[in-house]
Amino acid sequence: MGDTPGMPNHNSPSENIKQGEEFIAHVHQKMSKLVEEFANGEINRTQFHQLYDRYQRQIMRVAQLIAEADPSLWRDVIQDSEDTLHIKKRLTAKAVGMSVYFNKSGMPIETLGEFAVEPELIVPMLSSYRSAAAEIFRAGMRSTEMENGQWLCFVPGSFTTLIALFSLEPSSNQLEMVERMHQDFEQANKAALELGQADPKKLAYPFYSFVQRRAKPDLEIDEENDPQDTE
């Protein structure tokens, strides 16, 4: 907008007010984009809530300065230590680990990644989930938050149930990806799974690389290079 935040501003009050109003309109556009991203399943609720609140606070602070104080100061109040891109990356869920269980026996087939969930917790949860799924025709995926803030996701299949452990609440797109990978797992190993005694070392795991990438964000975030996007 012509002036660098934190630098002396020599614009007239009317110019500062105009630029502040333009900034507010720009943030409103970002809020609309954020709403669209959540609606499309691209971000999770934590990302949405924190960023939406941040944008809202910026608008309120700038509007207040324009109305009640020196309008030239509005640039100073929008400076935060972390930008939008880093907030999104920090709050993106990562696949920590996955475990596959036979539906009939409840026995585990294989566990990948850092699936640090106690069996005494998993077994009753899995049993309860299977019982609920049996009562609901075509019951789909279920996810739940754990006490440590991680999320467990139960994905039903014809022969097995996949349990995915995420560092945070996964986005809809991530859940859809896990569901598709589980479908591919059952299709690729159908002959072995039908026997109910599959050798874990001979099975193919479509979600193997998904778990191995847990150190990186599963959601690639592209955002335009906006000089005002230092909020």
> Which token pair is 143?
């996810």
- Whether 119 contacts 176, CB under 8 Å: no
Q: Is residue 62 over pLDDT 90?
A: no
Q: What share of residues in the chain are helix, strand, coil (percent, to 5)? A: 50, 15, 35
**62 burial type by CB count under 10 A (0-12 exposed, 13-18 middle, 19+ buried):** buried
Nearest to 102 by CA among 91, 90, 93, 110: 110
Tokens 């598709």 locate to 180
Long-range contacts of 21-24 (CB under 8 A, 24+ apart): 21/66, 23/62, 23/74, 23/78, 23/228, 24/59, 24/62, 24/63
Write down the pLDDT at residue 92. Answer: 82
Instruction: Find the mean pLDDT for residues 4-22.
Output: 65
Write down the pLDDT at residue 173. Answer: 81
Mean model confidence pLDDT for the chain: 76
Question: Cα(175)–Cα(165) distance, rounded to whole angstroms?
Answer: 11
Helix, strand or coil for residue 105?
Answer: coil
- Compare 133 and 25 and report the one with higher pLDDT: 25
Instruction: Find the mean pLDDT for residues 19-39.
Output: 89
Residues in the chain, overall count: 231
Query: Angle at Cα 129 formed by Cα 184 and Cα 99, nearest 5°?
Result: 45
Q: List pLDDT tens digits, range 86-126.
A: 777 777 888 899 999 888 888 889 988 888 777 667 777 77
From the DSSP assignment, how many helices (H) and strands (E) are in the chain? 7, 5
Q: Is residue 72 over pLDDT 60?
A: no
- Whether 28 contacts 89, CB under 8 Å: no
Band (pLDDT 50/70/90 cuts) for residue 189 is: very high
Kindly report the CATH number that applies to the domain delimited by 95-215. 3.30.450.50
